[in-house]
A and B are shown apart, each in its own frame.
Chain A
């Protein structure tokens, strides 16, 4: 016999199953978030990191970018269209300048604008130690990713100028 109590429990179960399916099923947004996690994990550096490991991490990061990729980082004069090799060289150089780096991404918003294209906005927080001083920086990043051969790759990355002097 269907009572109010049973109907309530059934409704709760349906909601829970629906929520679990929504969370567990693969989606394009999850695939993009995974790429962003790869980016932040490989950008981070510990003080005892070996050079080979550093190169491996730089390669993993560069593999997230389409070849070529448009990048605009006006503050460090790194603007233009760059090949994957150029991006890897730059990443290797920047990482080498730090003794330790921690990079985290926050407030990520992903909009699947058209088929196989996504616009991503996020806040990038970097903290680290260089030879003689501590670095703490926050930047807003606007990026376009495209699904190419099954992988979501950065095709355009721009640092948003929140404060302009």
Chain B
């Protein structure tokens, strides 16, 4: 049991302090720049992401690829402390609309297996502008006026979710 004692009560040496500093700096760097912890607050992505849940924003998710249909993306506001989780439903140049709660992209009905609520959303067709993607939450059971959705600049997408 000597190793247990050494692990929990290490001898404070110069090497130990150096290792501690390196590990702390690495953890700060990783969890502030690469894998940003997210505590989910709100019901707009239910049932996929429940209120009070936890996940990480994977910053390198779109380093070499672009967001595509069905991806859950992290959208920033003025910083990274408060972000939105939304699902990409249409890309630039595509036409998106809702008819009686059903999503149509380029006039084609889209199957959305992640939905569990019935909605009555009506949204006339609109074309997604260049450099933007169209995002919607999975919880369509709320009134359309109270749900944050629409087209967002690609530059505002911080990354994807880890799970």
Report whether B77 and A123 are in contact in the complex, using a CB–CB cutoff of 8 Å.
yes
Report whether B79 and A136 are in contact in the complex, using a CB–CB cutoff of 8 Å.
no
Among A133, A135, A140, A165, the residue within 8 A (CB) of B77 is A140
What does the 1/0 interface line of A120-143 toward B look like (CB < 8 Å)?
011101000000010111111100
| Set of chain A residues within 8 Å of B84, measured between Cβ atoms | 138, 162-163
Q: Give Cα A24–Cα B48 distance, bound, in whole angstroms.
A: 46
Q: Which chain B residue lies CB-closest to A125?
A: B82
Report whether B149 and A165 are in contact in the complex, using a CB–CB cutoff of 8 Å.
yes
Interface size bucket, A side?
20 to 34
Q: Which chain B residue lies CB-closest to A161?
A: B150
Size of the B side of the interface (Cβ < 8 Å), in residues, is 20
Among B78, B126, B148, B149, max chain A CB count under 10 A is at B78
Q: Which chain B residue lies CB-closest to A123?
A: B77
Report whether B79 and A138 are in contact in the complex, using a CB–CB cutoff of 8 Å.
no
> Within the complex, what minimum Cβ distance (angstroms) separates B49 from chain A?
14
Considering only residues 62-115 of chain A, those with a C-beta below 8 Å from chain B are 106-109
Report whether B82 and A164 are in contact in the complex, using a CB–CB cutoff of 8 Å.
no
Report whether B151 and A163 are in contact in the complex, using a CB–CB cutoff of 8 Å.
yes
Task: Let me know if B30 is at the binding interface, CB within 8 A.
Answer: no
23 contacts between A and B (CB under 8 A): A106-B79, A107-B79, A107-B80, A107-B81, A109-B78, A109-B79, A123-B78, A125-B82, A135-B146, A136-B41, A138-B77, A138-B82, A138-B84, A139-B77, A140-B78, A162-B77, A163-B75, A163-B84, A163-B149, A163-B151, A164-B150, A165-B123, A165-B150
Binding site for B on A (CB under 8 A): 106-109, 121-123, 125, 133, 135-141, 160, 162-165
